[in-house]
Amino acid sequence: MTASQKIAILSVYDKTGLLDLAKGLIKNNVRLLASGGTAKLIREAGFDVEDVSAITKAPEMLSGRVKTLHPAVHAGILARNLESDEKDLADQNINKVDYVVCNLYPFKDTVAKINVTIPEAVEEIDIGGVTLIRAAAKNHTRVTILSDPNDYASFLQELDSGDVSDSSRQNYALKAFEHTADYDAAISDFFRKQYAGNGAQQLSLRYGANPHQKPASAFMRNGQLPFKVLGGSPGYINLLDCLNAWPLVKELKQALGLPAAASFKHVSPAGAAIGVPLSEKEQKVYMVDDIDGIGQSALAQAYARARGADRMSSFGDVIALSDKVDVPTAKIISREVSDGVIAPDYEPAALEILKKKKGGKYLVLAIDENYEPASQETRTVYGVTLTQGRNDVKITPSGTFSSIIRPKDSPALSEAALRDLTVATLAVKYTQSNSVAYAFNGQIVGLGAGQQSRIHCTRLAGDKADNWWMRFHERTLGIQWAKGVKRPEKSNAIDMLCSGQVPPQSEFEVKDYERNFAEGQVPEPFSAQERRDWLSQLSGVAVSSDAFFPFVDNVYRAARSGVKYIAAPTGSQNDGAVFDTAENLGITFIEQSTRLFHH
């Protein structure tokens, strides 16, 4: 070869466009070196090509596993335009390599084969090709690496015009690193499934979001999973709920210093609360007045509130608890329809109660309370990878709600108001947007999640808050139940009564509703005036929104449910009208300066 002749090394699994590329390289006076089947195909097409052994002076060996792993190859690729590198090459009589064309056998295809064995998979792990690609991509300021046959045509156009541009080499290098990263990910995924079957790093799930979405798994690329399975078998949605619910209760405990609980359904809280003592009336409303020891367990009180605020939405929930689970809390869980629980620890007696639930299939997870997730989050949607910084903003009573917008002469917020604003704001942080939360006495009493319009969130949450308050009416508390009526049926009947859905319209629905009550004891529906009179007694409710209130209709709706405090980000063009309306209605409007969308 001449001193000025450039060199290309070719070693490809996907031979699409290879002969056109070889023809174009030769046209530009590039010396071709190739290995194995790549060299064979080029040679049989009548093009000039040399085996890589022409520069390594060593034959392919170990059944082709060693072909390009040699200083003559990699020094030629990695050499920079430096005097010291030039001297090293001259001393060893090695020529620079200018172009590397390489792609890898798709390891995913290997492991997708039925009953593939570990030795069979291992045999397909490429060493030399990966090394070629990485070496060329590392030195892309000088060397062009082509790992995608779709780039051959544009590469040749540039080569025909004189040289490959810096921007093209940079783009090819990025593709090359992504190619090897995807390849390595497929290998690690295979071996994770083979060797990490104890659940420490990889956990097989029953299925994905739906039963037909198989296989499904949870895993950590670095380190171990931050939870252990003590009972049952998790599903995909179970873990989504658990891993959203746990940070909510952890942050509630950190912010307010009391045990916290959350009832999660479909990646949003149905309820969340801290362990504020329960009155006798609250115990009855939340159906826990017969739980021994509830007065001494702040954690049980927290879960009674979280579950009791919206029993309909909590049906089949996943539970998150901030503290070691005690027996009173486990007893509440044991008799409710629920799919699982996540907590840092369990008393032995409590764990035994939970492990008997659902015939031993109830999901029980123990989370490492010291675990801190990475600062960057990644997810894949429709084949597209998205990444963002984790929402690690801290919500605290002292630092988050200090800026009162209206009234300007408003006194400092009370401890109760700060507590409830904190509960509401942390709830919307972990609720599918748009979201609005109503809080009272340390618990969520109404939550609107995932609505496209904020007023619909506010209405939905307000309606739930009204429903919650109607359950404290003496008519609701005085219901006489028919013998054998189960807790879910009671919850459904109470919901119908308190939400104004009775009397039902069809005779079949009437019979289905009335069979829940003792003979002759069907409760009278609430009249519109009775509802207004009772709801007017609720006051001091706090509302938080994950983004600004753009219109005054939100404020009017909130006021009808006893709201006295609203916290929301500002920045809407209509802020002035919203602030004025709040002040006119006797509501304190507090700026919460961080938008908290959650998806």
Sheet holding 338-343, edge to edge: 227-231, 363-367, 338-343, 317-321, 260-265, 268-274, 443-449, 435-440, 541-545, 563-568, 588-591, 403-406
Nearest residue to 318 via CA among 433, 221, 235, 394: 235
Q: Over 243-269, what HEC string results?
A: HHHHHHHHHHHHHHCCCEEEEEECCEE
The DSSP bridge partners found for residue 338 are 317
Q: In the structure encoding, which two tokens stand for residue 408, read together?
A: 């300007």
To the query of whether residue 74 is one of the catalytic residues in this protein, the response is no
Nearest-10 crossing angle of helices 454-470, 487-498:
110
| DSSP structural state of residue 408 | T
Place of tokens 């060693």: 66
Q: Give the pair of three-digit tokens for residue 366.
A: 């123990």
Contacts 24+ apart (CB under 8 A), 294-297: 294/328, 294/332, 296/328, 297/326, 297/328, 297/329
How many CA atoms lie within 13 Å of 320's alpha carbon, on the beta-carbon side? 36
- By CB neighbour count within 10 A (0-12 exposed, 13-18 middle, 19+ buried), where does 357 fall? buried
Q: Where are the alpha helices (DSSP H) in 163-230?
A: 166-195
φ, ψ of residue 589 in degrees (nearest 5): -105, 120
List 15, 23, 138, 228, catalytic entry: 138
Q: Which residues pair with 217 in a beta bridge?
A: 204
Q: Quote the distance between the C-alpha of residue 102 and its chain's center.
A: 36
Instruction: Show the tokens assigned to 27.
Output: 């046209």
Half-sphere exposure of 403 (CA within 13 A, CB side): 10
Residue 599 annotated to the active site: no
Query: Of the candidates 179, 161, 164, 143, which has an alpha carbon nearest to the alpha carbon of residue 12?
Result: 179
Instruction: Specify the DSSP class assigned to residue 271.
Output: E
Residue 110 token pair: 């290997």
Cα–Cα distance measured from residue 324 to residue 326, given in angstroms and rounded to the nearest whole number:
6
Catalytic residue (one of 228, 266, 284, 358): 266
Chain-centroid distance of CA 315 in Å reads 22
Secondary structure class of 591 (helix, strand, coil): strand
* CB burial string 36-65: b at 16+ within 10 A, e below: bebbebbbeeeeebbbbbebbeeebeeeee
Residues with a known catalytic role:
138, 266
